[in-house]
Structure 1
Amino acid sequence: MQQIGFLLYPGFQIMSLAAVSAFEFTNVELEEKVYEVRYLSEHGGPIANSLGMVMETEPFGDPAALDTLIVAGAPGIRLPNAAETDFVRAALPATRRLASICTGAFFLAEAGILDGRRATTHWYVSRELQSRYPKIKIEEDRIFIIDGSVWTSAGMTAGIDLALAMIEKDHGIEVARAVARMLVVYHRRSGGQSQFSALLELEPKSDRIQKALDFARGNLKSQLSVEELAEAAHLSPRQFSRAFRAETGQSPAKAVENLRLEAARLMMEQSRHPIDVVADETGFADRERMRRAFLRAFGQPPQAIRRNAQQELQR
């Protein structure tokens, strides 16, 4: 049975513990207790999270008793004290995996563990992490990153993706998929996937523009002309174009391209479909047009995106 330790401290963010459910339901799926979760703090005893809810914890002890240590995040930047730093540093050679969720990356950074490594954290504090610890190779737009035995994830729900990736490594993709279904989440976003969503970045203010975007996302193979989108929004083409730019700051054509890029990148990362098929399914019409769009947006062609995703899974 693998011991999963969660390092907690006063004011930790409770969303970090969402990852615990992934380990819990792995036990349910396998009908065997393959994971035991332990909650650790410097002195043990009750620890209140950022909402004031109290968790009972045990003192640190010997990190070698753990298979995996995961450091919880906080609502803001919280640096570890000397005892926490020493425990995290000692856990690197003693455990099979050392991980952080969200701003927990600052604990690993303070212990020097991330020096020379690729790492990520919540996008909101990624530049602060890079500024404080310039030896880290920050990739601020990643869901999670595996560099050797060190795992770091983005903020909030990305901890679930991190846990599902660990479960996939330990017990295979089918078990991880079954657990994801139990959690009613998408089966593990790939580590290379962006923390941002094209729809979230647009943030339309009216239901009409949102309807047009929903229509576009569901019909990427179509031409998606301004006339089609305007009809979905129940506006004239002229009214629609004016309202769309006013609410999103983008032209309809640019927004559609971003939606296509997001869908195409996801297909490249998580499927084995040929590039021609991906281009057709996402409305790029041909692979060359998609390649140019990828180079503009990501600085890499589709093949490189797929290769990076596959290498991430093999780490």
Structure 2
Amino acid sequence: MARPSGGGRTVVIVAFDGVQLLDVTGPVEVFTTANHYGADYDVRVVSLTGDTVATSSGLVIGADGAPGTLPRRLGTVLVPGRRNWRSAVADNDLIALVTDLSARAKRVASVCAGAFVLAEAGVLDGRRAATHWELAAQLAAAYPRVRVDGHPVFVRDGHVATSAGITAGIDLSLSLVEEDWGAEVARDVARQLVVFMARPGGQAQFSARLAPREPRHPAVRRVMDRVTADPAECHTLATLADSGGVSARHLERLFRTEVGMAPGRYVESVRVEAAQTLLADGTGTVEEVARQAGFGSSESLRRVFQHTLGVSPTVYRARFRSTLGDRTR
């Protein structure tokens, strides 16, 4: 297996004021830890001037130098994100730096809102890209030439890789280590950092699933209110249309136009969110949760969770339930 050499071993992480701290330190830990298991990365954190930068948490981090200290050929350029992505993309010097470094790199990657910086630099034009689930719609609206996918933890399109929010930068970095040095090295790093080598499921298990557009039509609002008031009720297209005072066909059209999904899909989304809450906060069995949320059986709930969230109800509960009851007294 070919290994990085020369400039190809250099990993450059671009730091700038307001950057998310873990977007920087997560990948740094992955690549430097890999060096303890046979990798040979030259990890450099650079800032525009080579000076320290203040992160989003207020913690100040140092840089290894200014861009002029880097070799001409680069292995990986990684761009972290900033909560206020508009400020980042308005920084002409930052965009010019990322444009230049990306042209010199074998691979280009971003973490979380770093995708906005890559998009502004034109690196993501025509490419599939990921970002934090909460920012996916904003990225798609601001940069229509980017094919945004808000579900995966990270996306690879050619030599460009983009990841979801914050800790997903660790997942992405592990995948790059595996590509460079093989699965065993990546597994060693994952074990050392006590993280998944491949995180099960996508971003849907973390996101607030119900984010439909605010409806203007009173019939749609009535139907949505009825569903959210009692997800377990029998909500067929006919009963929903009746409660909205319109025909079933007209309700279908209204929902697709105003909510962006079919009525049945909306009902399922409400039930999924109800089940997520019951699993995380309650003590009922999976069968009881399924009935209370309107799925009828644990098998139906399992199928929908596996399809929409990428995990089973049992795994979801283990991952997200409150820890208050588990504390040592």
Q: Distance in 2 between matches of 1:157 and 1:73?
A: 12
The alpha-carbon deviation at position 211 of structure 1 amounts to 5.5
Q: Distance in 1 between matches of 2:296 and 2:41?
A: 49
After superposition, what is the alpha-carbon deviation per residue over 1:134-183, rounded to whole angstroms, capped at 9, x for unaligned? 11111111111111111111112110110000000000111111111111
Conserved in 1, the CA contact under 8 Å of 2:129 and 2:147? yes
CA gap 1:12/1:207 in 2 versus in 1, 3 angstroms: closer
What corresponds to 1:313 in structure 2?
none
What corresponds to 2:55 in structure 1?
49
After superposition, what is the alpha-carbon deviation per residue over 1:8-32, rounded to whole angstroms, capped at 9, x for unaligned? 11111112121221112211122x6
Q: Distance in 2 between matches of 1:15 and 1:97?
A: 21
Conserved in 2, the CA contact under 8 Å of 1:198 and 1:259? no
Which residue identity is paired with 1:85?
A: I
Paired residues for 1:223-242 under 5 Å: 229-230=287-288, 241=291
After superposition, what is the alpha-carbon deviation per residue over 1:11-55, rounded to whole angstroms, capped at 9, x for unaligned? 11112121221112211122x6x1122111111211010111111
TM-score, normalising length: structure 2: 0.64
Q: Point out the more displaced range, 250-259 or 175-184.
A: 250-259
Q: Distance in 1 between matches of 2:61 and 2:127?
A: 32
What corresponds to 1:13 in structure 2?
20
What corresponds to 1:195 in structure 2?
203
Aligned with residue 259 of structure 1, among 299, 305, 308: 305
Secondary structure, aligned partner of 1:91: helix
- 1:85 corresponds to 2:95: yes
CA gap 1:211/1:76 in 2 versus in 1, 3 angstroms: farther
Secondary structure, aligned partner of 2:285: helix
Structure 2 residue runs of 5 or longer lacking an equivalent are 209-272, 313-329
- 1:112 corresponds to 2:122: yes
Paired residues for 1:96-135 under 5 Å: 96-135=106-145
- 1:40 corresponds to 2:46: yes
What corresponds to 2:11 in structure 1?
4
Which residue identity is paired with 2:282?
A: I
TM-score, normalising length: structure 1: 0.67
What corresponds to 2:180 in structure 1?
170
CA gap 1:156/1:251 in 2 versus in 1, 3 angstroms: farther
Aligned residues: 235
The alpha-carbon deviation at position 204 of structure 1 amounts to 2.3
Structure 1 residue runs of 5 or longer lacking an equivalent are 214-228, 234-239, 268-315
Secondary structure, aligned partner of 1:98: strand
Q: Distance in 1 between matches of 2:100 and 2:207?
A: 42
Q: Distance in 2 between matches of 1:130 and 1:63?
A: 34
Q: Distance in 2 between matches of 1:105 and 1:39?
A: 18
What corresponds to 1:212 in structure 2?
285
The alpha-carbon deviation at position 93 of structure 1 amounts to 2.6
Q: Point out the more displaced range, 57-66 or 173-182.
A: 57-66
Conserved in 2, the CA contact under 8 Å of 1:198 and 1:258? no
Q: Which stretches of structure 1, 4 residues or longer, exceed 6 Å deviation after superposition? A: none
Q: Distance in 1 between matches of 2:127 and 2:207?
A: 31
RMSD: 2.9
Q: Distance in 1 between matches of 2:281 and 2:12?
A: 47
Which residue identity is paired with 1:50?
A: S
Aligned with residue 66 of structure 1, among 74, 82, 90: 74
What corresponds to 1:159 in structure 2?
169
After superposition, what is the alpha-carbon deviation per residue over 1:288-310, rounded to whole angstroms, capped at 9, x for unaligned? xxxxxxxxxxxxxxxxxxxxxxx
Secondary structure, aligned partner of 1:124: coil
Question: Which structure's CA Rg is the greater one?
Answer: 2
CA gap 1:252/1:130 in 2 versus in 1, 3 angstroms: same
Conserved in 1, the CA contact under 8 Å of 2:27 and 2:173? yes
